Amino acid sequence: MDKEEKFIIRAKKSYGETSVVSCRMPNEVLKQLDRVAARTGRTRNELILKCVEFALDKLEIVDEP
């Protein structure tokens, strides 16, 4: 079977208990997020969570002198 013919679904990570949060973001960022959501079939919430997890994993805090 050709790779392009496969229908691949990855398991979603289970987070257990969750909380609702709210944030403000520029309209252009929201438009970009919606384009990615439409292209990937993911919800805004899923994408925002993935972005936050990625940022936290890559985060380095530098103390200023």
pLDDT digits (tens, 9 = 90+) for 6-25: 876 677 788 889 999 999 99
d(C-alpha 45, C-alpha 7), whole Å: 23
Could you count the other beta carbons within 10 Å of the beta carbon of residue 46? 14
pTM above 0.75, yes or no: no
pLDDT digits (tens, 9 = 90+) for 41-60: 999 999 999 899 999 999 99
Describe the crossing of helices 44-58 and 27-40 by its angle, rounded to 10 degrees: 110
Amino acid 63: pLDDT: 93
Q: In the structure, what pLDDT confidence band is assigned to residue 39 with cuts at 50, 70 and 90?
A: very high
